């Protein structure tokens, strides 16, 4: 494929800055040529604001557009399997948002289609290519804190305004029939994907998930223990109903010679503490966080490289979360 001409299904927030036209059109040999939304006016508005030539309100019309040779699925997870199947059976590589699907079984079905058709499948776990996480993995690989013993995750966030307003209207992420779970599934998927990228496969994961505040149908608190094949142990706790003063997003990698403290989502700082002192690295995210991953995808489709985030790697995050919540 000399030029990757993307068709995009969904015109939500993730497509405005993280991905979509602004990211795709900055990648060499890549261009967003068509978009689709159920509301044709929304699709038209996005297309006209971002200089996209075509817009549709039909998934089939976009996938079958002869100018589209790759498809980006930027929708909630409940339709990822259906739309991936349609695109792959049409012979078009797929880049799908995370989490890859609602559960591991759906991910496996998507990967089977990819294997059967030979059509590539990529997942938007873009931390694998962000400079911040590349540096973090480099520190791990260099044994900056010695032999790693333990990994801890703490993600405590306050409810979103729409979840606690006078007339609550929670978004799709907390409806399990759409998202597969709640905020845990949306955010922990990024965390487990990167942890496996950095430390190898997780062989055991157990946890407890509960709905304590009853603001919506999904679980709002999860605690978990997990073990890597290497013998490294991990623990995490996720709570989405604390007050904003207690908000925390912190990961720690504890080794035989020190610890690395970092953030999965908010802080640009990586701190390495050893007997020699404390060293910090400040690495802000790029303006369009999915652009580096898109560059890898385009390179692979052109036969010039390999993307680190595929359907096979992406399914692992769903498997781990399924184990933790007892699916």
Structure confidence by residue, pLDDT tens digits, 61-112: 999 999 999 999 999 999 999 999 999 999 999 999 999 999 999 999 999 9
Both tokens assigned to 221: 């608190």
Mean pLDDT, rounded, for 167-188? 97
pLDDT 10s digits, 313-323: 999 999 999 99
Max alpha carbon distance in the chain (Å)?
61
Take residue 279 and report the two structure tokens written for it. 């060293």
Q: CA-CA distance, 36 to 163, in Å (whole number)?
A: 28
Concatenated DSSP letters of 103-143: SHHHHHHHHHHHHHH---EEE--GGGG-HHHHHHHHHHHTT
Domain boundaries, the chain: 4-125+289-308, 131-284
Q: 77 and 178 in contact (C-beta within 8 Å)?
A: yes
* Contact partners, residue 164, CB within 8 Å, separation at least 6: 215
CATH class for the region spanning 4-125+289-308 = alpha beta
Q: pLDDT digit string (tens) for 225-245?
A: 999 999 999 999 999 999 999
Confidence of residue 2 (pLDDT cuts 50, 70, 90): confident
Q: What percent of the chain is predicted at pLDDT more than 90?
A: 99
Residue 33 has pLDDT above 90, yes or no: yes
Q: What is the mean pLDDT of the chain?
A: 97
131-284 sits in which CATH class?
Answer: alpha beta
pLDDT of residue 104: 98
Q: How far, in Å, are 16, 40, 72, 73, 296 from residue 9 at the CA level? A: 13, 12, 6, 5, 21
Confidence bin at 247 (pLDDT 50/70/90): very high
C-alpha separations of 22 from 45, 47, 211, 255 in Å: 15, 12, 38, 40
Encode pLDDT of 248-295 as tens digits: 999 999 999 999 999 999 999 999 999 999 999 999 999 999 999 999
Query: Quick one: average pLDDT of 285-309?
Result: 97
CB contact set of 279 (below 8 Å; sequence gap of 6+): 271, 272
pLDDT in tens, 131-161: 999 999 999 999 999 999 999 999 999 999 9
Mean pLDDT for 109-119 is 98
In DSSP terms, 207 is beta-bridged to 224
* Residue 33 phi, psi (nearest 5): -110, -15
């Amino acid at each position: 494929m000399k030029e990757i001409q993307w068709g995009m299904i969904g015109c939500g927030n993730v497509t405005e800055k993280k991905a979509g036209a602004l990211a795709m059109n900055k990648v060499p040999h890549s261009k967003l040529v068509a978009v689709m939304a159920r509301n044709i006016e929304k699709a038209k508005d996005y297309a006209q604001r971002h200089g996209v030539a075509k817009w549709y309100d039909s998934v089939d019309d976009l996938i079958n557009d002869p100018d589209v040779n790759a498809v980006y699925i930027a929708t909630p997870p409940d339709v990822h399997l259906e739309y991936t199947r349609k695109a792959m059976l049409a012979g078009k590589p797929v880049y799908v948002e995370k989490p890859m699907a609602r559960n591991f079984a759906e991910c496996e079905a998507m990967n089977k289609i990819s294997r059967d058709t030979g059509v590539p499948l990529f997942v938007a776990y873009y931390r694998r290519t962000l400079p911040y996480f590349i540096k973090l993995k480099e520190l791990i690989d260099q044994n900056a804190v010695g032999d790693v013993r333990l990994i801890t995750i703490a993600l405590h966030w306050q409810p979103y305004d729409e979840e606690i307003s006078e007339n609550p209207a929670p978004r799709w992420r907390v409806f399990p029939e759409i998202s597969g779970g709640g905020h845990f599934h949306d955010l922990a998927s990024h965390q487990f994907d990167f942890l496996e990228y950095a430390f190898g496969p997780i062989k055991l994961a157990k946890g407890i998930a509960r709905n304590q505040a009853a603001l919506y149908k999904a679980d709002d608190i999860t605690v978990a223990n997990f073990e890597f094949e290497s013998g490294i142990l991990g623990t995490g706790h996720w709570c989405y109903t604390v007050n904003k003063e207690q908000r925390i997003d912190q990961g720690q990698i504890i080794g035989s010679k020190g610890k690395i403290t970092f953030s999965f989502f908010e802080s640009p700082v990586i701190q390495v503490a050893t007997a020699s002192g404390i060293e910090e690295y400040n690495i802000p995210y790029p303006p369009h966080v999915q652009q580096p991953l898109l560059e890898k995808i385009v390179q692979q489709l052109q036969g010039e490289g390999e993307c680190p985030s595929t359907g096979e790697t992406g399914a692992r995050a769903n498997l781990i979360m399924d184990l933790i919540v007892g699916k």
